[in-house]
Amino acid sequence: MSMRLSEHGTFHDLDNLAGSDGEPGRQDIGGTNAQTDWVDMLNYSRAVAFAVLGTWNATDDVDESKIQSSDDSSGSNTAEVTTDASGGNYDTDSPIDADGDFIITEIRGENIDVDNANAQRWIRYYVAEGGNTGTDNIASVLTQYEYAYPQKELQGAASASNVYVDPGT
pLDDT of amino acid 118: 64
**pLDDT tens figures, 121-136:** 899 999 999 888 888 9
> Rounded to an integer, what distance in angstroms lies between the CA atom of residue 70 and that of residue 169?
35
pLDDT of amino acid 115: 61
* Inside any domain, residue 166: no
Residue 6 above 90 pLDDT?
Answer: no
Band of residue 154 on the pLDDT scale cut at 50, 70, 90: very low
* Inside any domain, residue 30: yes
Question: Going by C-beta distance under 8 Å and a sequence separation of 6 or more, which residues neighbour residue 66?
Answer: 80, 81, 82, 83, 84, 89, 90, 105, 125, 126
* Inside any domain, residue 163: no
- Total count of domains within the chain: 1
Residue 89 above 80 pLDDT?
Answer: yes
* Inside any domain, residue 156: no
**pLDDT tens figures, 12-21:** 887 654 444 5
**pLDDT tens figures, 52-71:** 998 898 889 999 999 999 99
Average pLDDT rounded to a whole number, residues 70-91: 92
Query: Can you give the CATH number for the domain in which 26 is found?
Result: 2.60.120
* Inside any domain, residue 168: no
Average pLDDT rounded to a whole number, residues 76-103: 92
* Inside any domain, residue 160: no
Identify whether the C-beta of residue 84 lies closer than 8 Å to the C-beta of residue 64. yes
* Inside any domain, residue 162: no
* Inside any domain, residue 84: yes
> Rounded to an integer, what distance in angstroms lies between the CA atom of residue 60 and that of residue 99?
11
Question: Going by C-beta distance under 8 Å and a sequence separation of 6 or more, which residues neighbour residue 54?
Answer: 19, 21, 23, 26, 99, 137, 138, 139
Using only the alpha carbons of the chain, give its radius of gyration. Answer: 18
For residue 124, the enclosing domain spans 5-149
